[in-house]
Every structure is written in C-alpha cells, then in structure tokens.
Structure 1
Amino acid sequence: MGILWCSWEELRTRMRPVSPDIALPDASLSVHSEEVDFDELAEVCRSGEPVAIYKDGQWVGVLGPREFTELLLDLCRSQRAFFEQVLDIVQEAVTVIDRRGVVRGWSRTAEQIYDIPAQRILGRPIDRFFQPEALAVLRLLRDPKPVRQVYHAPRENTHVLLSGGPAMVDGQMAGAVASEKDITQLVRMHQELQRTYRQWMADQQLRHGDRDPFDTIKGGSPRLLHAIRLAKKVAPTDATVLLQGESGVGKDLFAQAIHAASRRSAGPFIALNCAAIPGPLFESELFGYQGGAFTGADRSGRPGKLELAHGGTLFLDEIGELPVELQAKFLRVLQDQTFYRIGGTRPIQVNARIIAAGNQPLEDLVAKGRFREDLYYRLNVVRIFIPPLRERLDDIPVLVETFLEDLCAAYGRPAPHLEPDFLVALMRHPWSGNVRELRNVLERLVVTVEDESWNSGHLAMLLQAGGPEAGHLVGSPSGETAPQRLGRPGAGPGTARPDGELILEALRKTGGNKAAAARLLGISRGTLYNRLRSLGLDPRAFDSAMGLGGLRG
C-alpha cells in the first residue's frame, strides 16, 4: 500500500453512477475488494479522460477528471492530517526538508529540543536557523545515503542520535527526512558520573576499614545488582555455586569475590580453566599423581588442584569442557569428599568449596549427552546469571572510569578527557567480548593515542582492524571512518595520529574549514592546530601556502 490509499467507499461516493445518458468510456478500472489500488487508479486517470469503474465484473460508474481531482484533494487532506498527527506524537525530533533545504515538516519534539516553533521555521530554509556545516539533514541532499543511529551535535550542548535518508521520486531527489533522538540528558549524566566517580574514588582512598570484596565488580544495572545480591547471600555458606554467563562478563571476579566474602577467605583460591588443559593431562591436573606413576612423572609426586584447594575454594572455569571420562570421578569427589592421586593407593580427604562457571547452559550439554545429568544437579545448587555487557550499557561509563584509572596509572599516562560522542560510540558497539573486550580496547587507546581528548574518531580508527563489527561503530553519517571518508587507502587501521598528507587532504576536502577538517579526522580543532605547528606550518599563514585563499574555522 502506498502513502495514498483509497477505499471503495471513497471512490464510490465520488464517481457518477451508471445511467442511460452516460456512454461507456474507453478507459476502465476493475475493483475486486474494499481497497482500491490508488497507483493503478492514478495511472488510468492520467490521460484526463473519463474512466469506467467496474466492481466485481459489473460496470457501476464513471470517474471523470473533475471527480478524480476532488478525490485526490480529499485523500491529500487526509494524508496531511495523518502526517501532522505523526509529527505531533512522535518522540523524536523529525525534520522534513525539500530539495532546496526548505523545512516542510517539524515535529513537536523538535520544537521542544531546539526551542523553535513550527510556525516560525516551516516554509523557511533550515540553514537560517542552524550552522550549515552542523546540519546532517542537508548533507543527505548532497550525499543521499541513509544513516542510522549516528551521533550528532547540531548545536552546542545538544546531543542526538541521528537517523535519516533521502526522499526520492522517480529516481530524483525530492528532499530528505531526519529523525533525532535526544541524548543530551544521557551525556550530561555521564559527565556528572565522571565527576561523582572521581570524588568517590578520592573518598575511598581516605577511608579505613574492611573493603567489600564485591567492590571489584563495577556497575549498577538491575540485572548485575541482582547477581551481586545473590552472590553475597550465598557467599557465607559452603553451597556449590554455578556461574553462568558469556565469555568476558567477569565470572572469575564473581568467584573471587564469593571466596573473599566466605568463611574460607583465609584459605587458598585455586582456579582451573577446564578448556585450557589437554585431555590427557586433565586428570593429573585435577587429582595430582604419585611419584613414578608414569614416565616422566616427578619422583616426589605432585598434588592436584583439588588437593591444593583444601580449606579454600576450587574455581572450575568452563566446566562444560570437563572430559566426560572424568565427570564420574569428580562426581564421587563431590559426594564423598575423597579422591586418589594417579598411581596412588591412599585416599585423600579434601574439604574445598566448589565454584563452577560456564559460558553455555549445562542443561543443553546434558541434552546432547556431553555432560552427566547427576553431576549437573550436584553443581547447580545455586546458579547465578551474569548479564552480558550489551544488556547493561548503563554500566559502561563507570567501567570506563575504573579501567582508565588503572591503565593510565600502569602506563604512566594522564587520564584523557572523554568527548560525549566517545561514550555514545562505546554504547553502540555490540561488545561480543563483553567487559574483557572493553578493557582491551581502552588499553590499546591508552598505549597508542597521545591526544588529551578522545572522541569517536579515535575509537573508529582503532577498531578498523577489529572485524566487521567495527565498521559501523562510529564516524561520519555514512558510517565511514576518517581515512575511508578521505578516500585514502594508505591510511591503515589504528591511525590515531593523522600524518601531514592526511591533514592536507582533509583541509582540501573541507575547503579549508579547520573545524570541519578536524571532525573529518576524528580529532579536536586544537589538536589539528597542534599537528599543523608540529609539521612546521603556521595555521594562520597556511591558507596561502595551500592556495585556499583564507582558511575558515
């Protein structure tokens, strides 16, 4: 169904009914339902001649040019009412412009965000109200590529996520539509959170007394807090705990916190990654061996992880990878709390709490015959689900603050200022590697980026080599990163410091506008000035050397 639709009832009331004095026209339209194909109706009426209307095979009336025009006007008025209602109730700032940049639609939310009444802006060029270089919707007229959820700052202290696209009629540009979701409050909350977190960290350093073991788990999302509350509740007991969550969510932090908050905190915390041990070595790693038990064995023997964890906690990560042939032996340990070393004849008593973790549901492995059902029930006394990072995006700011504090101290680097679009870019990334991936990305930025401020351009350039997910992370409205926008194949991934050639090309493409060139490069304007000076170029005298006739910005 097109943007204009017509019911049989609307068509019937407009056409002239069949009568003896009406001749049968040459053109005709057949209607077989209660909905009329308006595109077909418009095409058959294009000639300006009367049209015979058939309903279910019977000639029932004639639609002349005047009747069609009146019908068309009625439908347009109806569509205008729908259009105005959409603009009134939609929760985004919607802007509609024609091919000349004149505003034809302006939603109520746009009025509120920009404090510009519709009656003031409708019918006027949009560049009278905004700086042209700040208008993404105008860029759609020049480069008609749809954009989705791109960070944009159309005005100072206004931050939005922009989606938009061109309006095409018969392959020709008719205008453009943009929808902006206001995230100004989110950005301000992040800035306030940064200040509050720094103050909190300063207060923490002045505090004395015991520290909550769960303080190492950063975040405040409801699902994470639920997991922490459950972990705190079970920590003082000796109940077996099963931690469930994707790789990189922090299952090891939960295990260590549960141990530290337990009655066994003075005892050892022994971790074993079941996926990292080759099958033939697994039994000796878990149970240990007697001296001379096999060729190459230490003559004095060696205790296994179970024995080492006596009086403390044994953390078995990736428990789903425990070899099937060892699952029965491990089940007996849980039941009897005794085991034998390989080659040993003396039973060894063990008193260790078991915390297991996995990144796939054990019940699925049970169904596939890869995990014993009885062992599953032994381990699944208390199960704690740890949410992935993509389901707790509100925690990203505090995680970033925590990681940057540690990383900057470790590498002797000053803490960077984070621009609002940097945070938006982080929250748009899918984070398949979860918290571990976030920390890795920040570590690479700390090591490679020398700028005092970080923005989305730094992140996009760093992640170009990070796989297909990185391509749509941040950048220009087209989703391209700085080197791609400049059309420079030689600009490789991770180019955190644009060289002279890249800077010159950016300035040429922006007509010498330094502010626009800096945005294109993903750096601040101040950084661009510093780079020009480091290349031995005076920004004020630079325009004559490039033949730009006076650089702007």
Structure 2
Amino acid sequence: MLETSRDAIAVINREGEVLFWNKGAERTYNIRHDEIVGKKIKHFFREEDLKVLQMLETEQPVRDVYHRPRPDKHVMINSSPVYDAEGRLIGALSIEQDITHTVKLNEELSVASSELHQLKHQVYRKQLDSPFSKIKGKSAAIQQTVQLAMKAAKTDATVLIFGESGVGKELFAQAIHETSLRNEKPFIPINCGAIPHALFESELFGYERGAYTGAAKEGKPGKIELADGGTLFLDEIGELPLEMQVKLLRVLQENEVYRIGGTTPKRVNVRVIAATNRNLEKMVEEGSFRSDLFYRLNVVSLPIPSLRERIEDIPELVRFFLHELSIKYQKPMPSISADAMHVFLEYDWPGNIRELRNIVERVMILAEGGEIKPSELRHFFPKRMAVKKSKGEASLAEEKTMLEKERIEAALKKTYGNKSAAAKMLGISRATLYQKIKKYGIAVEKP
C-alpha cells in the first residue's frame, strides 16, 4: 500500500539511514530506490532542510506543515516517530505531498492579478484624469489658462508660453503634448539657457559622421530629429542666439533639418512649444530676437499667472505638496493650522510654485510634531521676507481695492499693456477695465 501511494514516503532508522523509499519519492525527488536505500538521507539533502531528522531529536509528530526540502520543491509534510514494542525510538516515517505545481500556479496567478490590478488602475486614471489634472488650483486665473491650453492642445499650432520663473511652464507644455494627437510620440525638452552657445547647433540639429574633431563616429541626431512626430519644447527661448534663431525659423518654415557637416536635408514633423520669462516683444524692438521667429512662435500665446495672482490656490497647493512629500519621505502627513497657512498667504512668492514646493519640502523634513504652527514656520522663509499687508493694517474694503489694483497691474504686465488681452485674462469687459485703470491711476505700458 505504501508503495502504490502517489505521495513521497520514506522510512529512516535512528541513525538517519533510509530503510524505505517508494515510487512517489522517486518521482518527487528524482532519486532512485537503489541509490538511496541503506544510505544516510543527509547525503542527498541539506541537513537543515530535513524535517524528518529534526523530528528524531524532538520526537514531536509533524502534521500538514508546508516545507521546502529543495529550492525547486514545495511539499506538505506529515511525519511521525516510530517506536519498538518497548517504546524505544527506532526511526521515523515521513509522507510528503508534492504541491510544487500548485505553488507555481498560485505565484503566476498572484503576478497576473497584480498586473491586472495595475492595468485597471492605469485605465481608471486615464479615464478619470486628463494630463491637465497635474496642474493644481481652482482660481479663475489658472483655470482660464488651462482652458486656453486645452484648446491649443487640439491643434498643431506653435504655442508660446510666457510667465515668471517657477510658474510651471514645462508642466503646461507636457500637458499640451499629452493631450494632443502626438501624445504617443516623443516630448523632447531643451533648456536654451543651459546650453553653451558653442554647442547650440549640434544639440539642436545634430551632426554627421566626422563632422568635426571629437564627434561620434556614427554621427548624432539633434533634438529636433529626436522629436520627429512629437513635440519639441524650447524652454528659455529668449536665450537662443541670433544665428540659431535663423536656422530654427527655417526648420519651422521648411519642415527639414540639416545636420552639421551634412548636405542632405532630413524631413521632420515637429510641433514646437516655446517658453520664456522675458519680454520677447521688447527684445524684438532691441534687435536681440528676430521678429519673424517671434510671430512664427506666437501663434497661441499662453500667459501663466504668477502665484501672487492666484493666492487662493495656495492652501490647495500646500496640502498637495505635503501629501506628495509625506509619501516620498515615508512620514505622516502633518496638518497645518490656520495661522500657519496665513504665513504662506502673506508671503510674496517671487520664486512662485517652485519656491513654494521647496519651502514645503523643508518644512516636511525638519518640522516636528503633527501640526505645522507659525512659530516653527517663519524661519523656513527668507530672512528678508516680502509680505503682503496683514489683515490688521487695512479694512476689508481697502484690502479688496489693493488686491483688485494689483491683479489689474499684473494682468497688464503679463500682456505687455494689451488691454483687450488683460480684460480677457481678468474676466471683465474692456470698458470695465478702462474705468478701473482710470480709477486707480494705473500707468499702462504701450504694447
């Protein structure tokens, strides 16, 4: 009966020598009966993997215990000590059910379930969120910009994003690309302000084999070629040298690029999004930026409001960054008192969202306790802290007047004095804007 069982059955004596080894054991461990019977079982398995030897020492039976006698074998083991008529221990019986196939199937099922869960999550997120959901804030200023960007994303028009440093210009550029029909093709960013002038041409246009000393033997495609079919994001476009402006304009007009040392043009299909924190119109007047390139880039103008223009978004941004950074640093997310939030609202934020995130990160790392309070918050800000007037220094009406004037001045600055664009940004009519400019005595820069 023991011989016909499908389970692996072995009997050993007190010295650990194998007395019985059935067909099931041969199949499970690929060890023949005549190879193992009469020999010590520890010569065929690692001693620490042998439950049956451990039982000889403890004399405690084993019932339905998962065991892994070999790296590639999984079994359920039942083992009992064997005694003679006088009750003396003379050996042990071990019955092991091979469950290796079941374990492997379970592991494969677990992996497949995990992948399915991730896939479902990705599909859910894709359905629920648009790429613009990464841009946080519900203020009219930022929502108006998002709506304009979403309209631009549906076309192949070049987009010129302008705004102060740190407002999230690249985030908008990525969202436009991911929402566009080019979203499965590359998004290639290049920071024009971070490239030495001598390397601009090779970075943008690439070079042919042997174009110059030190060049790669096989040549190298430029960023424009790498963006073929997708989007090229030119950050800090105002830093592009004049000679490169001419060549970039030719690419936009002809849809072809010449590598350094090359004589044959390469056709490219690239959507260009450019960004700047400089006044390009003024640069055109000064002759440091080509007017034809400016008009080619400025098909859709996308002004990004500064954080000062959307202070109502600061609480949401602070909490978002606290949540994000609590995950990054594996720390509990602290709460923030109303007075501490007021400190964030008082600050002028010259570095915009980039500075806000930096300060929240410092707070997350260094602050102690479960709640952020003003007393421990102020020393995270620059010593010469530019703040807005506090609530105790002006009446509600005065505060409203000051805020309205600041918003109008900021909109006019953003649009370089263009009253129609400023009125649209503020969500008011041109007539209302003219009245308020006169009321507050605001000086307007000529467009």
Distance in 2 separating the partners of 1:473 and 1:453: 24
Correspondence for 1:377 among 295, 304, 310? 295
Distance in 2 separating the partners of 1:233 and 1:252: 17
**Alpha-carbon distance, 1:469 to partner:** 2.1
Partner residue in 2 for 1:246: 164
Matched, 1:291 2:195: no
Distance in 2 separating the partners of 1:206 and 1:312: 23
What amino acid is the match of 2:130? Answer: D
Q: Which moved more, 1:206-215 or 1:399-408?
A: 206-215
Distance in 1 separating the partners of 2:333 and 2:150: 33
Distance in 2 separating the partners of 1:255 and 1:393: 23
Distance in 2 separating the partners of 1:359 and 1:456: 33
SS of the residue 2:189 aligns to: strand
Matched, 1:352 2:257: no
**Alpha-carbon distance, 1:314 to partner:** 0.3
Distance in 1 separating the partners of 2:368 and 2:122: 28
In the superposition, relative to structure 1, how do residues 304 and 334 fare at CA in structure 2: closer, same or farther (>3 Å)? same
Gaps of at least 5 residues in structure 2 are: 1-120, 394-447
Distance in 1 separating the partners of 2:203 and 2:238: 17
Distance in 2 separating the partners of 1:451 and 1:294: 60
Matched, 1:229 2:229: no
Matched, 1:442 2:442: no
In the superposition, relative to structure 1, how do residues 357 and 421 fare at CA in structure 2: closer, same or farther (>3 Å)? same
**Alpha-carbon distance, 1:424 to partner:** 0.6
Partner residue in 1 for 2:184: 266
Correspondence for 1:469 among 382, 385, 398? 385
In the superposition, relative to structure 1, how do residues 291 and 240 fare at CA in structure 2: closer, same or farther (>3 Å)? same
Q: Which runs of 4+ in 1 moved over 6 A?
A: none
Partner residue in 1 for 2:433: none
1:207-255, CA deviations, whole angstroms, 9 ceiling, x for partnerless residues?
A: 5552211000000111111110011111011000000100000001100
Would you say the 8 A contact 1:268–1:312 is kept in 2?
Answer: yes
Q: After superposition, where does 1:41-190 map in structure 2 within 5 Å?
A: none
Matched, 1:403 2:324: no
**Alpha-carbon distance, 1:398 to partner:** 1.1
**Alpha-carbon distance, 1:382 to partner:** 0.3
1:40-75, CA deviations, whole angstroms, 9 ceiling, x for partnerless residues?
A: xxxxxxxxxxxxxxxxxxxxxxxxxxxxxxxxxxxx
Distance in 1 separating the partners of 2:210 and 2:278: 38
Matched, 1:432 2:350: yes
In the superposition, relative to structure 1, how do residues 238 and 409 fare at CA in structure 2: closer, same or farther (>3 Å)? same
Partner residue in 2 for 1:336: 254
Distance in 2 separating the partners of 1:361 and 1:261: 28
Partner residue in 2 for 1:113: none
Matched, 1:420 2:338: yes
What amino acid is the match of 2:243? Answer: E
In the superposition, relative to structure 1, how do residues 396 and 205 fare at CA in structure 2: closer, same or farther (>3 Å)? farther
Correspondence for 2:222 among 300, 304, 310? 304
Distance in 2 separating the partners of 1:231 and 1:414: 35
Correspondence for 1:280 among 198, 203, 212? 198
**Alpha-carbon distance, 1:361 to partner:** 2.0
How many residues are aligned here?
271
1:518-537, CA deviations, whole angstroms, 9 ceiling, x for partnerless residues?
A: xxxxxxxxxxxxxxxxxxxx
State the TM-score, normalized to the length of structure 2.
Answer: 0.58
Correspondence for 1:313 among 231, 235, 242? 231
SS of the residue 1:387 aligns to: coil
Larger Rg: 2
In the superposition, relative to structure 1, how do residues 324 and 208 fare at CA in structure 2: closer, same or farther (>3 Å)? closer
Distance in 1 separating the partners of 2:242 and 2:366: 45
In the superposition, relative to structure 1, how do residues 325 and 225 fare at CA in structure 2: closer, same or farther (>3 Å)? same
**Alpha-carbon distance, 1:372 to partner:** 0.2
SS of the residue 1:248 aligns to: coil
SS of the residue 1:265 aligns to: coil
SS of the residue 1:267 aligns to: coil
Q: Which moved more, 1:367-376 or 1:445-454?
A: 445-454
State the TM-score, normalized to the length of structure 1.
Answer: 0.47
**Alpha-carbon distance, 1:206 to partner:** 11
1:455-506, CA deviations, whole angstroms, 9 ceiling, x for partnerless residues?
A: 122221122xx24226x6899x99xxxxxxxxxxxxxxxxxxxxxxxxxxxx
Distance in 1 separating the partners of 2:324 and 2:302: 28
Partner residue in 2 for 1:324: 242
Q: After superposition, where does 1:524-539 map in structure 2 within 5 Å?
A: none
Distance in 2 separating the partners of 1:393 and 1:374: 37
Partner residue in 1 for 2:33: none
Distance in 1 separating the partners of 2:303 and 2:337: 33
Partner residue in 2 for 1:256: 174
Gaps of at least 5 residues in structure 1 are: 1-203, 479-553
**Alpha-carbon distance, 1:275 to partner:** 0.3
**Alpha-carbon distance, 1:450 to partner:** 2.0
Q: Percent identity?
A: 52
Would you say the 8 A contact 1:239–1:381 is kept in 2?
Answer: yes
Distance in 2 separating the partners of 1:473 and 1:372: 39
What amino acid is the match of 2:314? Answer: I
Distance in 2 separating the partners of 1:253 and 1:229: 14
Distance in 1 separating the partners of 2:349 and 2:244: 34
Partner residue in 2 for 1:487: none
Would you say the 8 A contact 1:425–1:474 is kept in 2?
Answer: no
1:393-444, CA deviations, whole angstroms, 9 ceiling, x for partnerless residues?
A: 0001111121111111000111111011111110110100000000000011
